[in-house]
Structure 1
Amino acid sequence: MTLPMFPDVPYSMPEIVPARKIKGNVSVVLDARGGDFPSDAVTRLEVGFEGIVQDYHAGHTRKSGGREPWYPRGTEIRNERQISIVAADELAMAAKDMGIDRIEPGWIGANLVIEGIPLLSILPPRTQLFFEGGVTLRIDGDNGPCKIAGAQIAKNFPDMDQTALALGFVSAAKRRRGVVAWVEKPGVISAGEAVTARIWEQWIYPGA
């Protein structure tokens, strides 16, 4: 059997990895209400369809930037980056590679710190996070580290080379900086509540 649109290509389905669920826990919740992206720990987050209420990254839409070179900078696009989610173990590994003792989640604008889900930063797009309190988030993808967040980290280590530290974050936090997500079902997220990640079927698309 061959594909009608590609008559010279044998029809072969890729390996399908079944859907599965992984349970974790919310250890810290944070919001950014200071007019910039660094965030502070709170006890609960009120979450609407626009994101975290009054948070720096809240909004149904956002302006495009360096992550979207296919648009003129400042183009209004859908906000798929409403919430930043990180894992403490991944930040610890990044900090070690940078030669510092820690990276606080708030320094890089995190909203949620989740424990118990291995390799959080490479959870695939479309993964749903079901929170015990009723909120559902949908992961858009990994959050690529940038030198702006690196510079914010560097401020906390004034005796070190600020430029080298800021740039070092970009490489040290690659696939360790967590994921970004948007709100599928609103409600309240509290520190200490359980969360379940539903990972959909996965495959590698075999097209050229």
Structure 2
Amino acid sequence: MTADLFGEDQISPLHHTPARKLKADVSAVMQTPQADDFQTRKVSGLTLTLEGIPGDRHGGYTRCSGGREPYYPRGTEMCNERQVSILSEEELRSIARRMDVRAVEAEWIGGNILVKGLANLSLIPPRTRLVFEGGAVIRVDGDNRPCRYAGKAIAANYPDRDGLDLLFPKVAQRLRGLVGFVEKPGTIRAGESVTAHVPEQWIYQPG
């Protein structure tokens, strides 16, 4: 009777994947040399604060909305969930193969942290916590959608090839890495380990 009263008999079975921890390594850390630069450069250590990376193009507590947020007028101030860009060695190699180029470097497309050994990085779900050996923690907001702007940066390194700027958004879907925000400040260095604390997952079904 109680179950009927609260409608519990109407709840769909929950098909879920339990939480897990996955280990990987940091290959390189990068930041923009100036706040108006898109491409990044390798540094010895990446200092993270609650504002993100000080001086980096994507740093700050807030940011202005753009093409990714059609539900707001462009330029609307909003929270900055895109403070840090995380990329995968394995996925960049896959993109390069699909584009038939020698390599796609993380710096060309604005990466801040390059990792290796974390399978299907771009498919890691939101709410995952990336806990770095030195103590810094980044909370994943979601995957980073590939755009022509990054494609142009790649194309500039292959002047003998036409159409790479348009090819990149097509072949880099779900391979472009992640964006996230700083949950716990600290310094990240190349060579240290990172543990992805992936939360329990399920597919939401409205009924």
- Structure 1-normalised TM-score? 0.94
Q: How far apart in 1 are the matches of 2:148 and 2:141?
A: 21
- 1:33 is displaced (CA, Å) by 2.1
Unmatched tracts of structure 1, length 5 or more: none
- 1:4 is displaced (CA, Å) by 4.7
Letter in 1 for 2:191: G
SS for the counterpart of 1:28 is strand
SS for the counterpart of 2:182 is strand
1:5-42 deviation line (CA, Å, top 9, x unaligned): 7x9x8322321211000011101000012321100011
* Structure 1 segment 30-179 matched on structure 2, within 5 A: 30-34=30-34, 35-161=36-162, 164-179=163-178
State the partner residue of 2:196. Answer: 197
- Where does structure 1 differ by over 6 angstroms across 4 or more consecutive aligned residues? none
Letter in 1 for 2:27: S
Number of residue pairs matched by the alignment = 204
Letter in 2 for 1:24: A
Give the RMSD, CA atoms, in angstroms.
Answer: 1.5
SS for the counterpart of 1:23 is strand
1:109-130 deviation line (CA, Å, top 9, x unaligned): 0000011111001000000000
- 1:56 is displaced (CA, Å) by 1.1
Q: How far apart in 2 are the matches of 1:102 and 1:112?
A: 17
Q: How far apart in 1 are the matches of 2:68 and 2:201?
A: 25
- 1:2 is displaced (CA, Å) by 5.7
- Structure 2-normalised TM-score? 0.94
State the partner residue of 1:22. Answer: 22
State the partner residue of 2:181. Answer: 182
